[in-house]
Chains A and B, each alone.
Chain A
Amino acid sequence: MKIKFQIGGNNITILATLLLFIVLFGSGSILYEGFFSLQVFLNLFIDNAYLIIVATGLAFVIITGGIDLSVGAMVALVSTIIAFLLKQGVNPYLVIIFVLIIGVLFGFAQGFLITRFHLHPWIVTLAGMFFARGSAQLISTDNIAVNNKLFLKFSEIIIPFPGGSFLSIGAVAAIIIVVAGVYVAKFTSFGRNVYALGGNERSSLLMGLPVRRTKVMVYMLSGFCSALAGIVFTVYTLSGFAMHLLGMEMDAIAACVIGGILLTGGYGHIIGPLLGTLSTGVIQTIITFQGTLSSWWTKIVIGLLLCLFIVLQKLIVTGKFKYRSTKVSRKEEIKAEKRSSI
């Protein structure tokens, strides 16, 4: 199949993020011994698997022009539910299926409220965030350790790579989600409807697209991703705690923005959140390698990067306009030349 590669608004921020990642990783490699290795790179996936999953689901919501603030609290709720149920001796497979269903239902409820009553997604998902966090507290205020055999086995599974490096099962799940997300966005009607909807909701409606259904579905997708991320996170930490990942929804939004997903909706590539997460992850790694800096420097750098990328996106939007207008004036120059030659 022939894929035409154009450097357009959708791609250029992706390229910028990729470049940022390479520069960060490169400078880390130059500065610190032992930084440049496959395992350091793979660790970015292992340590951020849950964030990649959440941000990919969230990206769909943002492309429709919405937002889902409940994702961080959902991960905490799911991890608490898992730990609690496993402690009661419930079958781990049942638990996994159960929390995935909860995630989808939770997303459905949010999407339903937003579309049925034309509520602002900010408010509805903010309520969802409080609700999920509160419910988690209600189940247990303690940090419950997970001792279930299956979960322990999951956490020990290693996918070997050459040179003794490896990936965890959570990281593989994250990669699968990203690949599936890219496919859905590009090759399914649902994916294209998501973009159309983000571009112009009224037009989409008048063109006969299932606007409401698509909207509800993106929140369900986001809910599913949050629940899956909750499972991955529980396997990663082997604990369930209501206060896990406070404020993680903002990290997910930051990953989307750095990955070129425009908050106004309609633009962005689903690979973006992955690159955004890796970029923020590599900053964390550099600071760990440096050793003396406070880990809060990560947040400061991410803050600066966010500003930089928003400005970059703005420049691209106006730059596109300039590109067009210079073309027009070039055409006029040719016309003027023709005229003068006559």
Chain B
Amino acid sequence: MDTTTILKAAGVSKFFPGVKALSKVNFTLRRGEIHALMGENGAGKSTLIKVMTGVQKPNEGTILFNDKRISPKTPQEAQNIGISTVYQEINLCPNISVAENIFIGRLPKKNGKIDWNTMNEQAKQILERLHIQIDVSRLVSSYSIAIQQMIAIARAVDMSSGVLILDEPTSSLDSREVQELFKIMRKLKNEGMAIIFVSHFLKQVFEISDRMTVLRNGLLVGEYKTSELTQTQLVAKMVGGTSVTSEELPNKRRKPRVMEGQTFLKTNGLEKHGSIEAFDLAIRTGEVIGIAGLLGSGRTEMAKLIFGIDQADQGNITIDNNMMTLMYPRKAIKNGIAFCPEDRKVEGVVEDLTIRENIVLALQAKRGYFSYMPLKKQCQLAQKYIDLLKIKTPSMEQKIGNLSGGNQQKVILARWLTTNPKLLILDEPTRGIDIGAKGEIRRIILSLAAEGMTILLISSELEELVRCCDRVVILRDRSLIGQLEGDGITETKIMKLIGEGGVKAANEDIG
């Protein structure tokens, strides 16, 4: 072993009941490099990280840090050794201050008591190093997701002595913030820090990483120099084919249809103060309508108003010529609307229930809780959608928590499809899932649309909107500013509409 190696995993395996999450994986991290860990969902990236950081114990294999064998049992032990991690879900405590979140576990003390002044001072300096100027004595919950992400990174950077692991750090950042983060990563790299970077954004991976390790189905595919690999080659290694067809890399665009059908749902001056300005939106039966806009531009808020999760201050909704001023989820479901929320971990998946139970949940709610659904019928339904959506699972009685992100998303989709919705609202259906699953979900969307379902699609990926939608409406600064139709939908046009001051405004909102 050479002296440049700082962290090495040799022959590491991890088994879960019924699943081989990792088998005999080798991984080498060198000082002063940014090493991308690549693979589809369920390939074992997260498991490898968890094993190296003491969240989970490997069934076999060894982990070496500076040539010394380590076996951290808790994240704290891993931190003490010198490995700090920023996980995919932001792991901060919302109820304590920014400064405390950076220092908790090692709070600065004077005469045996916590020295709040020093702590706030130091926290401010640490954040300033990352070009963030915020009031560190305020609660974390009062800042946006993007800032919270930076706070989590600041904590990890400050604690790390050698290895920094960033698991999907960019999924909630806009492009300017990503560049800020990359600047910081390069600076740390030059200081000799070894960084493991996990991301689904291939472009970002190629921009920032020096080397990459590819995993597939818990097996090591190989380690490569980034400069010696093309994006297509990488994708091929990740999905396992020798060549990638357009099926797997869904770039091909469907011909948008111009819908002239009747209006299914129409909003009239719908508004909620502080979350979205009054908007008029008419959704025609059978169309796929996209909502584009930056994070925080009011996309999700719009969907939540339509589905009745949030109540509007003003305005009304007309569905099938019935005007209503008060909307709530049960009423929305009764009127044939289904809503797949953005954050499936928090708002969608009921982790402790099985796949079957998760699938029948919405239908049961629609039927009323007292009308019993026979187990046989439940099984039939679940099996039907497992087959239809190609959900990868050993059994429908598997706990949904054991599935990969993409498959969980499919289960949520199945849940709403069982209710035979007329309008399906999808909020970021492909966020945080791998390319293969992304392609499949998009295909499902298109085939549902072909069967005549009306779909409202919210997505940060312009390419996804361009590919799937008949019409795209654009939001900026919490108001609806325009729409594109038919062949007029292109990435550049959408970006231009969002762009006019949009990025700047979004940043002001965060600062």
Partner of B79, one of A183, A200, A204, A208: A208
Q: How large is the interface on A (under 10, 10 to 19, 20 to 34, 35 or more residues)?
A: 35 or more
Task: Given A189-B114, A206-B85, check contact A199 B104 (CB 8 Å).
Answer: no
Q: Nearest CB to that of A191 among chain B residues?
A: B114
CA distance A322 to B104 in the complex (A): 29
CA distance A188 to B87 in the complex (A): 27
Task: Given A207-B155, A325-B274, check contact A199 B94 (CB 8 Å).
Answer: yes
Contacts of A196 in B (CB 8 A): 93, 95-96, 100, 104
A331 touches B137 (CB 8 A): no
B509 touches A328 (CB 8 A): yes
A202 touches B91 (CB 8 A): yes
Contacts of B117 in A (CB 8 A): 1-2
CA distance A266 to B94 in the complex (A): 9
CA distance A195 to B139 in the complex (A): 12
Whether B275 is near chain A, meaning CB under 8 Å from some CB there, is yes
Interface centre among A186, A266, A328 (most CB of B within 10 A): A328
B92 touches A326 (CB 8 A): no
A209 touches B76 (CB 8 A): yes
Q: Mark A209-232, 1 if CB is under 8 A from B, else 0.
A: 110000000000000000000000
CA distance A204 to B104 in the complex (A): 9
A324 touches B114 (CB 8 A): no
A192 touches B107 (CB 8 A): yes
Partner of A188, one of B96, B100, B113: B113
Whether A315 is near chain B, meaning CB under 8 Å from some CB there, is no
B76 touches A208 (CB 8 A): yes
Whether B134 is near chain A, meaning CB under 8 Å from some CB there, is no
Partner of A326, one of B79, B155, B274, B478: B274
Q: Which of A281-333 contact B (CB under 8 A)?
A: 322, 324-326, 328-329, 331-332
Interface centre among B93, B107, B273 (most CB of A within 10 A): B93
Q: Mark A171-191, 1 if CB is under 8 A from B, else 0.
A: 000000000000100111100
Q: Report the minimal beta-carbon distance from B175 to chain A, rounded to whole angstroms.
A: 21
Q: Report the minimal beta-carbon distance from A330 to chain B, rounded to whole angstroms.
A: 9
Q: Nearest CB to that of A206 among chain B residues?
A: B91
A-B contacts counted at CB < 8 A amount to 94
Whether A335 is near chain B, meaning CB under 8 Å from some CB there, is yes
CA distance A208 to B72 in the complex (A): 11
A192 touches B274 (CB 8 A): no
Q: Report the minimal beta-carbon distance from B101 to chain A, rounded to whole angstroms.
A: 8
Q: Nearest CB to that of B277 among chain A residues?
A: A332
Contacts of B100 in A (CB 8 A): 192, 196
Interface centre among A198, A203, A267, A328 (most CB of B within 10 A): A203
Whether B353 is near chain A, meaning CB under 8 Å from some CB there, is no
Whether B142 is near chain A, meaning CB under 8 Å from some CB there, is yes
A207 touches B273 (CB 8 A): no
CA distance A203 to B105 in the complex (A): 12
B93 touches A200 (CB 8 A): yes
B93 touches A199 (CB 8 A): yes
A199 touches B95 (CB 8 A): yes
Contacts of A267 in B (CB 8 A): 95
CA distance A24 to B20 in the complex (A): 65
B104 touches A200 (CB 8 A): no
CA distance A324 to B138 in the complex (A): 13
A209 touches B478 (CB 8 A): no
Whether B75 is near chain A, meaning CB under 8 Å from some CB there, is yes
Whether B243 is near chain A, meaning CB under 8 Å from some CB there, is no
Contacts of B79 in A (CB 8 A): 208
- The total of chain B residues at the interface (CB under 8 A) is 36
Contacts of B275 in A (CB 8 A): 325
B142 touches A324 (CB 8 A): yes
Q: Report the minimal beta-carbon distance from B276 to chain A, rounded to whole angstroms.
A: 11
Whether B326 is near chain A, meaning CB under 8 Å from some CB there, is no
Partner of A208, one of B93, B105, B113, B505: B105
Q: Nearest CB to that of B274 among chain A residues?
A: A325
CA distance A326 to B137 in the complex (A): 21
Q: Which of B74-106 contact A (CB under 8 A)?
A: 74-76, 78-79, 85, 87, 90-96, 100-101, 104-105
Whether A80 is near chain B, meaning CB under 8 Å from some CB there, is no
Contacts of B75 in A (CB 8 A): 205-208
Q: Report the minimal beta-carbon distance from B78 to chain A, rounded to whole angstroms.
A: 8
Q: Report the minimal beta-carbon distance from A101 to chain B, rounded to whole angstroms.
A: 25
Contacts of B76 in A (CB 8 A): 208-210
A331 touches B509 (CB 8 A): yes
Q: Which of B111-145 contact A (CB under 8 A)?
A: 113-114, 117, 137, 139, 142
A192 touches B96 (CB 8 A): yes
A192 touches B104 (CB 8 A): yes
A335 touches B114 (CB 8 A): no
CA distance A78 to B200 in the complex (A): 60
Contacts of A1 in B (CB 8 A): 117
Partner of B508, one of A187, A324, A331: A331
Q: Report the minimal beta-carbon distance from B311 to chain A, rounded to whole angstroms.
A: 12
Whether A8 is near chain B, meaning CB under 8 Å from some CB there, is yes
Q: Nearest CB to that of B296 among chain A residues?
A: A328
Task: Given A195-B96, A207-B104, A209-B76, check contact A186 B114 (CB 8 Å).
Answer: yes
Whether B477 is near chain A, meaning CB under 8 Å from some CB there, is yes
Q: Report the minimal beta-carbon distance from B90 to chain A, rounded to whole angstroms.
A: 8
Q: Report the minimal beta-carbon distance from A196 to chain B, rounded to whole angstroms.
A: 4
Q: Which of B481-511 contact A (CB under 8 A)?
A: 505, 508-509
B87 touches A192 (CB 8 A): no
B477 touches A195 (CB 8 A): no
CA distance A1 to B91 in the complex (A): 31
CA distance A324 to B90 in the complex (A): 21
CA distance A189 to B108 in the complex (A): 9
Contacts of A335 in B (CB 8 A): 477, 505, 508
Whether B55 is near chain A, meaning CB under 8 Å from some CB there, is yes
Whether A193 is near chain B, meaning CB under 8 Å from some CB there, is yes
CA distance A143 to B354 in the complex (A): 54
Q: Which of B466-480 contact A (CB under 8 A)?
A: 477-478
Q: Return 21 A-B CB contacts under 8 Å, by A number.
A: A183-B113, A188-B113, A192-B96, A192-B104, A193-B105, A195-B93, A198-B95, A199-B95, A200-B91, A200-B92, A203-B92, A206-B75, A207-B91, A207-B101, A208-B79, A209-B105, A325-B273, A325-B274, A328-B509, A331-B509, A335-B477
Q: Which residues of A are at the interface with B, using a C-beta cutoff of 8 A?
A: 1-2, 4, 8, 183, 186-189, 192-193, 195-196, 198-200, 202-210, 266-267, 322, 324-326, 328-329, 331-332, 335
Query: Beyond A205-B75, A322-B274, A329-B274: 13 further Cβ-contacts under 8 Å?
Result: A4-B137, A189-B114, A192-B107, A195-B96, A196-B104, A199-B96, A203-B93, A206-B87, A206-B91, A207-B101, A325-B274, A326-B273, A326-B274
7 closest A-B pairs (Cβ-Cβ)?
A325-B274, A208-B76, A199-B93, A199-B95, A187-B113, A266-B95, A203-B91
